[in-house]
Amino acid sequence: MSQPFRRASGGRIDRNRPLTVSFNGKTLEGFAGDTVASMLLASGQHLAGRSFKYHRPRGILSHGSDEPSALLSVDWRHDRGPGYRDPNNRASVVEARDGLVVKTQNHWPSLALDIGAVNDLLSPIFVAGFYYKTFMWPKRFWDKVYEPIIRKAAGLGEAPEYPDPDHYANRHAHADVLIVGAGPAGLAAALTASADASKRVILADEGAEPGGALLNDLTSTIDGQPAMDWVEDAVATLDGRENVILLPRTTGFGYYNHNHVCLVERVSDHRADAPEGLARERLWQVRARQVVLATGSHERPLVFENNDKPGVMLAESLRAYVNRWAVLPGDALIVVTAAASAYRTALDAKAAGMRVEIVDIRLGADCGPELAAARDAGITVRTGHTVIRALGGNRVGALVVAPIGTDGSIGPKLTLDCDCVAMSGGWTPSVHLFSQSRGKLAFDTEIDAFVPDKSVQAERSAGACRGLYDLGAVLADGFAAGSDAIGGAASPQPVEASAAFTGFQPVRVLPSDADPSRIKAFVDFQNDVTVKDIKLAVREGFESIEHVKRYTTTGMATDQGKTSNMNALGLVAGILNRPIPAVGTTTFRPPYTPVSFGALIGPARNELFDPVRKTPIDGWAAQNGAVFEPVGLWRRARYFPQAGEDMQAALARETKAVRSTVGIFDASTLGKIEVVGPDAAEFMNRIYTNAWNKLKTGGCRYGLMLREDGFVYDDGVVARLAENRFHVTTTTGGAPRVLRHMEDYLQTEWPDLDVFLTSITEQWAVIALQGPKARDVLEPFVSEIELSETAFPHMTVKTGSVCGVPCRLFRVSFTGELGYEVNVPADYGEAVWTTLFNAGQKHGITPYGTEAMHVLRAEVGYIVVGQETDGTATPDDVGLSGLVSKVKPDFVGKRSLSRPDMVAAGRRQLVGLLTKDPNEVLDEGAQVVKDPGQPIPMKMIGHVTSSYRSENCGRSIAMAMIDDGRARIGETVFATTPTGFTEAVIAPAVFYEVKGETADA
Amino acid sequence: MLLIRCPYCGERPETEFHCGGEAHIARPDTPADISDADWGSFLYTRTNPKGLHAERWLHAHGCGRWFNALRDTVSDAFVTTYEMGTPRPDPISETAKA
Amino acid sequence: MRRFSLTSLLKEAASGHQGWKRQWRAPEPKKEYDVVIVGGGGHGLATAYYLATVHGVTKVAVLEKGWIGGGNTGRNTTIVRSNYLFDESAALYEHAMKLWEGLSQELNYNVMFSQRGVLMLVHNHHDVISFKRHVYANRLNGIDNEWLTPEECKEFCPPLSISPDLRYPVLGGALQRRGGTARHDAVAWGYARGADARGVDIIQNCEVLGLRRTSDGAVAGVETSRGFIGAKRVGVVAAGHTGVVMSRFGLKMPVESVPLQALVSEPVKPVFPCVVMSNAVHAYISQSDKGELVIGAGTDQYVSYSQQGGIQIVSHTLDAICELFPQFTRMRMLRSWGGIVDVTPDRSPILGKTPIPGLFVNCGWGTGGFKATPGSGHVFAHTLATGEPHPINAPFSLDRFRTGRLIDEAAAAAVAH
């Protein structure tokens, strides 16, 4: 495809840098500075897509991010392999560069001939909400038959098929002033705000270059010079200021609480030469002291029959293509307008060599100086005329127009040939970010639009986004806003700008004598919502604009209603004969334009999805073949398989070794908190169910902690290192919340207690030696501590050194065997572990993981909080009522334990379950019933909380919570299996009797 | 994301904080003496106002201290933050200050 | 009520759809009703519908402060399932599920209930136990829910990554095949149309400001922005605003209102065949009939009525979505929004009497109320009609916060609703 519609000169394109883009397999030619849309128009290709519902041919409506129709699948890096393609890109904002492979969407077999267009013929049935009224018979057909067909027809492009090879950056920034939009108002605001060099200013604009609407404008002047000269000067000035960050290609999409504004920057998609590894997009999270919104305005389409024909464009967009991209979107243009601004399009198109006529809805008397300007330029203007319909197939070919009588009657029709149409229904300020900031909107009848009223956050709007359309007024407003943002007084800037053609006459639907129930005049182009759909919705009682939106889907397309909302709102208000504010305006929600998931997640992918916490011994475990499992953020060694072993085999070996010789286990993930201070014991008394006063220095005690509601919260061994110092351990997962819980009570309920809490989880590596030979392994390496049973009995703690390293040595056991937990500073953890492991070889030392740890503790009936308990268990439920002090007047959770249902009979209690077949291992989570033959729903009397094959017991063992369980010991029950039930007997929750020197000896 | 003024550290983003719910719900001095209904209220009943809300925050990833805040639950704007143990400020005087 | 059918649709198509009438009237409030329902969301409208159809109580008004279905009904991610753990919850949600299964026909309104299957993923050992506990409990309660291996999960949901290299690899999943999604707005509209046809007055833009009580303390009616409306029985079904309404009635509730966010992607052709929930990594996703990926995010941590949360909540959810479904990283967020959900201490609803005679409440559905809509309305209608709870909602009393008999699905399973 060559460029037959490219002008010989002019435009903001670089004719010295030609480029090509693949479009549906054909080659499009263009220049640096083009968008895919401008290249399509330069080649004469208006047909650019098919609509959502009716598959109608659609062209390019706009030149910006409000484009609803020309949506493309773009493969951004075809040359780098799969995974760089994504759907639904707006042709008008895809910057052209070599290597792009773009395709149109939503058609079969081809763009020009689309079978789906049969829907257009069936459209009398497919009105708004038709699916609510049918597809209900037969009953099962909805999701089996109808829905798949509807789904296949819906959707736009195809989702990406591959993992995304691109990556995304995230940046947090602080600014004194953030300015969104670098059109004339935004630039002016930036100039004044950044004049004070101490103010950090960020100026962001979604376009490739600053200038906003002035980029399309060849005629306006500022201080007598072309407006773009002023833009270039302003940009140069700002570039020269070190306190200014200029961000082109950066869309402010979300205005959140407390001036937290999120923007997305397109970093590399526009660069053919982007090095691999350069981020594709960057999310800017800016916390701004002050914000200036200079987000401009959107042009409204006109609503008439077939207003969606390819070749029918927004007037300002057509002007942009002619001036900025040096493209003539056709030879014969009809400008249809209710707004003065479109005359500028007519004049510029005429000057560029197009044949131009104007059809103005307004009466001549209602027009301003634009009318004379057009007539002086030799343009035929038909004022007081309406458009009845557009004619044409895949491209507009003519308009049928007619004069409107003073009584509203339609006069004789006239068919005007054309190959493109520029339409303007006036302007809508872009108040999206203002509305997101929770600012209140007010309806300004003068300009027929919602404008910012009361600010809620530290922001102000400037320029067209608050309804100012005259260039001079916009500039003055921008200067004042920038000044205001830094607390300065608004000083008038000495700029003179040429007058613009402003003003329009709101029109909802162009007058016509056609049967309105038979024609399609589109309000929402992408979602195929027509005037009659909206009328139908109102007829059926959907009167709130939110109801109309939801019933018809108007404003819900990927352009989020930028071109359709005001027309829909005006139409509903007109039908109901209510003022627009009474019908409502939709609240704008982020994002302003669609934002990739990639940009929103930034680097949080793969290994950075969540940080991995590793213990000091993790490296040794990895080298020694550990299989790991995630436990919260931690990664823990689950078991250490030897050659040829599966998990069961490894588990059998590890658990037997602990009971016959000695095992070594990395317990470093245990939460550890130091409780220090004169009132430490009193604090412990209040936080734990147990009493602590009588625990001697050097003693350990198993502590149980409740929430205030009386349910078990956490547990762990607590050591009293000194009169005023406790070393508390918590469950692995519980450490942060336990510390928070303790701090909460300490700071907010008992500030009178003199206690300090410190998390020491990361400071200590914990090496557990468990088994009959534990002392033999440890003894040679210990100094200053005597290990004999009498000197160092079970549940005591001593400080000293191990392998020459300072150590807190606990004589504790989570296996029932003789056991020690060696706490050494984390940096020495691996060295001490390695030393003990190597020395333990002669005793048959065996490393074991979390699986074996679970089996070993279950064998002796120790619970795991979070496994036996589930947030609904009281201490008594899990057989720990002995740990609940009867003497203490109060502790956290005590009062709740006496609530009626907490002491009611029949609560679930912890017991053991022994399967009839000793080789059968129950499913953890299995439900327990008394009678498996009862009808459904069955009465469940309990559930299995832990279940293992125990090599040491020579059979399977299980723990369960059973209704009134302790009274039912000996009863036969049935537990569910994947295919049915299996028989088991309720037993005490202790399965193994430790031989030799036990933990409790 | 909220911007929260920790009374000890200054303004920090919300992700550094943990919200602890309604403030000024005093734990009874002698829980054993109060009825089940009153204890249930203490545990569970909350003002949940549409408007000014006194609430507790913990500067978890910062100084580690709990403090109170007065925040409007409609606008999410903080009126003030204040130290634990001090009474709820009078919102009118705060507004006057602002 | 004019029946919707293919015939009526074709007939109207021939005449330009001029013959369709309002789906519900816009009546002026009467002086008095038998029952006033405060809140015109799905639950409130369903309550009115079943009052009229099941109990023959038709002197009913539904008072809605804004427009019907404009609260959480129109803001949720439309997931429907009933595979709850505890008998009480299972009975309630399964009651709803059975009603869902015939709802389009019952209402003569296509609510697009699509039993695409809800797959709940498991990423750690704790959840394996918890989900198997659910699967087995559901089996014995007659509710379908099956355990899937990672490979079976992948087969059921092809975009899912079951790579062992994931930060939290998929260890399996629990699938309820009867679960799925429905068209949320249609549920409100369908119930409204059905209730209206039977004489219920649906009064929009009518805010309830207070309660008027008789000398013996019983309910006499409500003060509203449109004047006093008499009724001996009042049911408050105001979701996130229940606390506000009840405080106007002089009652404090064990609920807190927090923002819950959700988002949709741009629409694409069918790519996601089911609903996937992964509580461990906070991902809830399905694809709408229109083609948008519908993604549920989490709640913000503070009380708010702002319907706007922080972006970090959305980002966090998308982290998980892209981790589990890496092909979606280039998809784009099209819209995000927030709802105000009322959360109870045990994450189970409150459905029943209040200390004020004649005043009833239906609230506390938290993040999962949509799925219960028909069941909630059905049993609450029974409660309002008879003055006593239906056996299904009897356990969900306000009194449980005194006795400690909580129904703590969240604690038991760490599962979002």
CB distance A117 to A528 below 8 Å: no
CB distance C296 to C77 below 8 Å: yes
Q: Which of A258, A743, A900 sits opposite B64 (nearest CB)?
A: A743
Closest-CA residue of chain B to C250: B47
Q: Which of C136, C266, C412 sits opposite A872 (nearest CB)?
A: C412
pLDDT band at A710 (very low <50, low <70, confident <90, very high): very high
pLDDT tens digit string along A356-384?
A: 999 999 999 999 999 999 999 999 999 99
Query: Would you tell me which CATH number, out of the four given (3.60.9.10, 3.40.50.261, 3.30.70.1400, 3.30.565.10), belongs to the domain A670-760+875-902?
Result: 3.30.70.1400
What's the pTM value of the predicted model, to 2 decimals?
0.96
Tokens 């929930």 -> residue: C277
Question: What is the C-alpha to C-alpha distance for residues A80 and A65, in angstroms, rounded to an integer?
Answer: 27
pLDDT tens digit string along A174-198?
A: 999 999 999 999 999 999 999 999 9
CA distance B88 to chain A (A): 14
pLDDT band at B93 (very low <50, low <70, confident <90, very high): low
Question: Where in chain A do CATH 3.30.70.1400 domains reside?
Answer: 670-760+875-902
Tell which C residues from 272 to 301 touch A, by Cβ distance under 8 Å.
287, 289-291
Q: How many CB pairs under 8 A join A and C?
A: 324
Q: Output the six-digit token pair for A355.
A: 């044949």
pLDDT band at A999 (very low <50, low <70, confident <90, very high): low
Q: B32–A258: do the CB atoms touch at under 8 Å?
A: no
CATH code of the domain occupying A508-594: 1.10.10.1100
Kindly state the DSSP code that residue A138 receives in the 8-state scheme: S
Pure H helices in A841-986: 850-859
Q: Is residue B1 part of a domain?
A: no
Question: What is the C-alpha to C-alpha distance for residues C40 and C62, in angstroms, rounded to an integer?
Answer: 6
Mean pLDDT across chain A: 95
pLDDT for the residue A494: 72
pLDDT for the residue C414: 45
CA distance C219 to chain A (A): 30
Tokens 């491209």 -> residue: A395
Q: What is the mean pLDDT of residues A531-538?
A: 96
- DSSP readout, A416-472? EE-SEEEEE--EEE--HHHHHTTPPEEEETTTTEEEE-S-SSSEEE-GGGGT--SHH
pLDDT for the residue C141: 96
If one counts every other C-beta atom within 10 angstroms of the C-beta of residue B95, the result is 10
Residues of chain C contacting A590 with CB distance shorter than 8 Å: 311, 336
pLDDT at B92 over 70: no
Q: What is the mean pLDDT of residues A980-988?
A: 98
CA distance C41 to chain B (A): 20
Domain that holds residue B42: 16-25+35-97
Best residue of A895, A896, A897 to probe chain B, by most B CBs closer than 10 Å: A895
Question: Where in chain A do CATH 3.50.50.60 domains reside?
Answer: 168-297+429-485, 301-425
Q: Is residue B65 part of a domain?
A: yes
pLDDT for the residue C417: 41
The arrangement of strands across the sheet holding A85-90 comes to A26-32, A14-23, A101-104, A71-75, A85-90
CB distance C224 to C208 below 8 Å: yes
Helices C42-53 + C373-386 axis angle, to 10: 50
Closest-CA residue of chain B to C346: B44
If one counts every other C-beta atom within 10 angstroms of the C-beta of residue A414, the result is 15
pLDDT at A997 over 80: no
Q: Is C125 in the A-facing interface, judged by CB distances under 8 Å?
A: yes
CA distance C343 to chain A (A): 17
Q: Is C207 in the B-facing interface, judged by CB distances under 8 Å?
A: no
Question: What is the C-alpha to C-alpha distance for residues A810 and A123, in angstroms, rounded to an integer?
Answer: 79
pLDDT tens digit string along B59-68?
A: 999 999 999 9
Question: Where in chain A do CATH 3.10.20.440 domains reside?
Answer: 14-131
pLDDT for the residue C197: 98
Closest to A833 in 3D by CA, of A626, A649, A1000: A626
Closest to C182 in 3D by CA, of A551, A154, A143, A138: A143
Q: Which of C124, C269, C315 sits opposite A158 (nearest CB)?
A: C269
Closest to C71 in 3D by CA, of C387, C374, C369, C402: C369
Q: Is C243 in the B-facing interface, judged by CB distances under 8 Å?
A: yes
**Bridge pairing between strands A725-730 and A712-722:** antiparallel
Question: What is the C-alpha to C-alpha distance for residues A925 and A945, in angstroms, rounded to an integer?
Answer: 6
pLDDT for the residue B95: 47
Q: A596–C131: do the CB atoms touch at under 8 Å?
A: no
CA distance C23 to chain B (A): 33
Tell me: cis bond preceding C169? Omega within 30 of 0 counts: no
pLDDT at A736 over 70: yes
Tell which C residues from 297 to 336 touch A, by Cβ distance under 8 Å.
306-308, 310-311, 314-315, 318-323, 326-336
Q: Which of C254, C302, C312 sits opposite B15 (nearest CB)?
A: C312
Kindly state the DSSP code that residue A146 receives in the 8-state scheme: I
Q: Is A124 in the C-facing interface, judged by CB distances under 8 Å?
A: yes
Q: B74–C252: do the CB atoms touch at under 8 Å?
A: no
Residues of chain C contacting B14 with CB distance shorter than 8 Å: 310, 312
pLDDT tens digit string along A790-814?
A: 999 999 999 999 999 999 999 999 9
pLDDT band at A492 (very low <50, low <70, confident <90, very high): low
Q: Output the six-digit token pair for A905.
A: 């009979």
Point out which residues pair with C311 in neighbouring strands: none
Q: Is A874 in the C-facing interface, judged by CB distances under 8 Å?
A: no
Closest to C120 in 3D by CA, of C347, C417, C318: C417
Q: C305–B37: do the CB atoms touch at under 8 Å?
A: no
pLDDT for the residue A584: 83
The CATH number of the domain holding residue B45 is 3.30.2270.10
Closest to A390 in 3D by CA, of A344, A347, A422: A422
Query: Would you tell me which CATH number, out of the four given (3.60.20.40, 3.10.20.30, 3.30.930.10, 3.50.50.60), belongs to the domain A301-425?
Result: 3.50.50.60
pLDDT for the residue A1: 58
Q: What is the mean pLDDT of residues A423-447?
A: 96
**φ, ψ for residue C204, nearest 5 deg:** -90, 165
Q: C303–B48: do the CB atoms touch at under 8 Å?
A: yes
pLDDT for the residue A491: 67
Provide the CATH topology of domain A905-1001: Elongation Factor Tu (Ef-tu); domain 3 (2.40.30)
Closest to A186 in 3D by CA, of A589, A454, A460: A460
What is the tally of structural domains in chain B?
1
Point out which residues pair with A49 in neighbouring strands: A58
Residues of chain A contacting C278 with CB distance shorter than 8 Å: none
**Domain A168-297+429-485 CATH superfamily:** FAD/NAD(P)-binding domain (3.50.50.60)
Question: What is the C-alpha to C-alpha distance for residues A294 and B9, in angstroms, rounded to an integer?
Answer: 34
Kindly state the DSSP code that residue A404 receives in the 8-state scheme: B
pLDDT at B96 over 70: no
pLDDT at A759 over 60: yes
pLDDT tens digit string along A379-412?
A: 999 999 999 999 999 999 999 999 999 899 999 9
Provide the CATH topology of domain A14-131: Ubiquitin-like (UB roll) (3.10.20)
**φ, ψ for residue A192, nearest 5 deg:** -75, -40
SS3 A176: strand
Q: C401–B18: do the CB atoms touch at under 8 Å?
A: no
pLDDT tens string for chain C (417 positions)?
Answer: 889 999 999 999 988 899 999 999 999 999 999 999 999 999 999 999 999 999 999 999 999 999 999 999 999 999 999 999 999 999 999 999 999 999 999 999 999 999 999 999 999 999 999 999 999 999 999 999 999 999 999 999 999 999 999 999 999 999 999 999 999 999 999 999 999 999 999 999 999 999 999 999 999 999 999 999 999 999 999 999 999 999 999 999 999 999 999 999 999 999 999 999 998 888 899 999 999 999 999 899 999 999 888 999 999 999 999 999 999 999 999 999 999 999 999 999 999 999 999 999 999 999 999 999 999 999 999 999 999 999 999 999 999 999 989 998 876 554 444
pLDDT at A140 over 90: no
> What type of residue is A341?
S
Question: What is the C-alpha to C-alpha distance for residues A511 and A165, in angstroms, rounded to an integer?
Answer: 52
- DSSP readout, C5-21? -HHHHHHHHHTTTTTPP
Q: B2–C303: do the CB atoms touch at under 8 Å?
A: no
Question: Where in chain A do CATH 2.40.30.110 domains reside?
Answer: 905-1001
pLDDT for the residue C280: 83
Residue C344: is it exposed, middle or buried by C-beta count within 10 angstroms (0-12/13-18/19+)?
Answer: buried
pLDDT band at B98 (very low <50, low <70, confident <90, very high): very low
pLDDT for the residue A113: 87
pLDDT for the residue A815: 96
Closest to A592 in 3D by CA, of A564, A626, A559: A559
